[in-house]
Structure 1
Amino acid sequence: MPTPTKSNQIQPAQVYQQLVLPALAPCAKGDSRRKNASYTALDALKSGYAIFHLKAPSLFGFRPKLAIEKQNLHSVYGIDRIPSDNGLRDILDRLTAQDLNEGFHRVLPFLESQQVAPTYRYWNEHYVVSVDGVQHQCSNKVKCSYCLERRHQNGTVSYSHSMLSGALVCPKQRPVFVVDNEPIVRQDGETKNDCERSAAKRFFARQATVNSDRSMVYVLDTLYACAPIVTLITQSSPQWKYLINAKESGSKYLFEQFDELNARGKVRWKMKRRKGGSYELGYTNDVALNKSNEGMRVNVLYCRVKEASDKEVVFSYLTNIELHHSNLMAVLEMGRSRWKIENEVFNTLKNQEYNYGHNYDHGKENLATNFAYLMMLAFTADQLLECCNRAFGRVLKKLRTRIKLWEVQRSVMLTTVMDNLDEVWRKMLEMCGLRVMQI
Structure 2
Amino acid sequence: MLGAAIVHPDLKEVIPLAPEFIIKQDGQSKNDCERNAAKRFFDSLRKDHPHLPVIITEDALSSNAPHIREAEKYNLHYILGVKKGDHPFLFRKVEEAQENGEAVQFELVDNDNPQKTHRFLLVNHLPLNESNQDLLINFLEYWEITSEKTQHFSWVTDFTITKGNSYELMRGGRARWKWDRMRSLFRDFAFKSMRMLYEALFYGMKFQPPIILYDDD
- Fold-level match, TM-score > 0.5? yes
Q: Do 1:246 and 1:318's aligned partners in 2 also have CA atoms closer than 8 Å? A: yes
Q: Do 2:18 and 2:209's aligned partners in 1 also have CA atoms closer than 8 Å? A: no
Alignment partner of 1:285 out of 120, 124, 132:
124
C-alpha offsets along residues 187-240 of structure 1, whole Å, 9 cap, x if unaligned?
335554422222112111222222231111100111111111111111212xx3
* Pair 1:361–1:289, CA change in 2 (3 A): closer
Which residue of 2 is the match for residue 173 of structure 1? Answer: 11
Which residue of 2 is the match for residue 258 of structure 1? Answer: 94
1: CA distance, partners of 2:43 / 2:144: 36
C-alpha offsets along residues 244-291 of structure 1, whole Å, 9 cap, x if unaligned?
000011111111111100111110012012226211101011111111
1:316-331 equivalence runs, <5 A? 316-331=154-169
Which residue of 2 is the match for residue 355 of structure 1? Answer: 191
The unaligned stretches of length 5 or more in structure 1 are: 1-162, 381-439
1:207 aligns with 2:39: no
* Pair 1:207–1:214, CA change in 2 (3 A): same
2: CA distance, partners of 1:205 / 1:292: 26
1:241 aligns with 2:81: no
Which residue of 2 is the match for residue 31 of structure 1? Answer: none
Matched pairs, number: 208
1:377 aligns with 2:209: yes
Question: Aligned-residue CA RMSD in angstroms?
Answer: 2.3
Shift of 1:294: 1.2
The share of aligned pairs that are identical, in percent, is 24
* Pair 1:173–1:379, CA change in 2 (3 A): farther
Q: Do 2:60 and 2:83's aligned partners in 1 also have CA atoms closer than 8 Å? A: yes
Shift of 1:356: 5.6
Shift of 1:181: 1.2
1: CA distance, partners of 2:35 / 2:197: 27
* Pair 1:376–1:262, CA change in 2 (3 A): farther
Secondary structure, aligned partner of 1:303: strand
Which residue of 2 is the match for residue 295 of structure 1? Answer: 134
1:30-429 equivalence runs, <5 A? 163-188=1-26, 190=28, 192-237=30-75, 240-274=76-110, 275=113, 277-309=116-148, 311-344=149-182, 346-352=183-189, 354-355=190-191, 357=193, 359-360=195-196, 362=198, 367=202, 374-377=206-209
C-alpha offsets along residues 107-145 of structure 1, whole Å, 9 cap, x if unaligned?
xxxxxxxxxxxxxxxxxxxxxxxxxxxxxxxxxxxxxxx
Which residue of 2 is the match for residue 122 of structure 1? Answer: none
* Pair 1:302–1:362, CA change in 2 (3 A): closer
Shift of 1:304: 1.8
Q: Do 1:219 and 1:242's aligned partners in 2 also have CA atoms closer than 8 Å? A: yes
Shift of 1:358: 5.6
Shift of 1:180: 2.7
C-alpha offsets along residues 63-110 of structure 1, whole Å, 9 cap, x if unaligned?
xxxxxxxxxxxxxxxxxxxxxxxxxxxxxxxxxxxxxxxxxxxxxxxx
The AA in structure 2 aligned to 1:348 is L
2: CA distance, partners of 1:224 / 1:379: 22
The AA in structure 2 aligned to 1:287 is L
Structure 1 range deviating more: 287-296 or 328-337: 287-296
Which residue of 2 is the match for residue 73 of structure 1? Answer: none
1:12-27 equivalence runs, <5 A? none
1: CA distance, partners of 2:134 / 2:68: 12
Pick the structure with greater CA Rg.
Answer: 1
Q: Do 1:212 and 1:236's aligned partners in 2 also have CA atoms closer than 8 Å? A: no
Which of the two has greater helix per residue?
A: 1
The AA in structure 1 aligned to 2:184 is N
C-alpha offsets along residues 287-316 of structure 1, whole Å, 9 cap, x if unaligned?
11111111111100011222330x222100
C-alpha offsets along residues 380-409 of structure 1, whole Å, 9 cap, x if unaligned?
9xxxxxxxxxxxxxxxxxxxxxxxxxxxxx
1: CA distance, partners of 2:188 / 2:39: 30
1: CA distance, partners of 2:56 / 2:94: 23
Q: Do 2:125 and 2:136's aligned partners in 1 also have CA atoms closer than 8 Å? A: yes
Shift of 1:319: 0.3
The unaligned stretches of length 5 or more in structure 2 are: 213-217
1: CA distance, partners of 2:146 / 2:38: 34
* Pair 1:267–1:327, CA change in 2 (3 A): same
Secondary structure, aligned partner of 2:50: coil
1: CA distance, partners of 2:170 / 2:50: 24
Which residue of 2 is the match for residue 147 of structure 1? Answer: none
Which residue of 2 is the match for residue 411 of structure 1? Answer: none
